[in-house]
A = this chain, B = another copy of it.
Amino acid sequence: MSVRSNLSALNCSLAKSLDIVGDGWTLLIIRDLFLGATRFSEISQSLGIAKNILSERLGTLCEAKIVERGGTNTRPHYRLSEKGLELVPPLLGLLLWGDKYCADGKAPIIFETKNENRLEELRLIDETGQTMLLLDLHAKSGEGAEFLTKIYLDRLTEKKNQ
């Protein structure tokens, strides 16, 4: 077997996401692009990532349509696609969590709007636009669920109700 499990084989969208962005560098690259970096050298220097690794990651991200490559061939620039931008909220969630628990509450980077309102938290929103509380959520199998996933979820639900 390989060193890294093929998480995509799991019947779980989180596993599939992590197969793409769960490697430690990828979300940091996306962070840099969201911050406004566009050049290879900017990201390379900012993160201290080896050039071959950065090259390979950017290639993968472009293939996955998370990043778009523009500019000239010899001086390309990179930017997040809509698909890539949609990764930013969970990314910011992890960042805020790190601010709170790993940085003594002293954020190295603050995100705010022009009127200086500061990003504070992520909120869960349902299909009607209402806020949801984490502890009110329960899981059930969806249309993409395989047999074993259904069994597992049913067992856990049953357990909770006891």
User: Oligomeric state, in number of copies?
Assistant: 2
Given known pairs A97-B87, A132-B113, A140-B110, the reply for A13 and B103 (CB within 8 Å) is: yes
Assembled-state Cα–Cα distance A91/B146 (Å): 21
Q: Is A130 an interface residue (CB 8 A)?
A: yes
Q: Chain B CB within 10 Å — which of A23, A108, A127, A132 has the most? A: A108
A12 near B28 with CB under 8 A, answer yes
B91 near A14 with CB under 8 A, answer yes
Chain A interfacial residues counted at CB < 8 A:
96
B16 near A90 with CB under 8 A, answer no
A13 near B108 with CB under 8 A, answer yes
- Residue of B24, B109, B143 touching A141 (CB-CB under 8 A): B109
A24 near B4 with CB under 8 A, answer yes
Q: Which residues of B contact A157 (CB under 8 A)?
A: 36
**Chain B proximity of A146: nearest CB distance (Å):** 7
Assembled-state Cα–Cα distance A25/B19 (Å): 10
Q: Is A51 an interface residue (CB 8 A)?
A: no
B145 near A117 with CB under 8 A, answer no
Chain B's closest residue to A12 (CB) is B108
Q: Mark A122-137, 1 if CB is under 8 A from B, else 0.
A: 1111111010101111
Q: A36-B160, A46-B152, A120-B127 are in contact. List 6 more A-B contacts (CB 8 A).
A: A12-B98, A13-B108, A87-B97, A89-B90, A113-B136, A117-B126
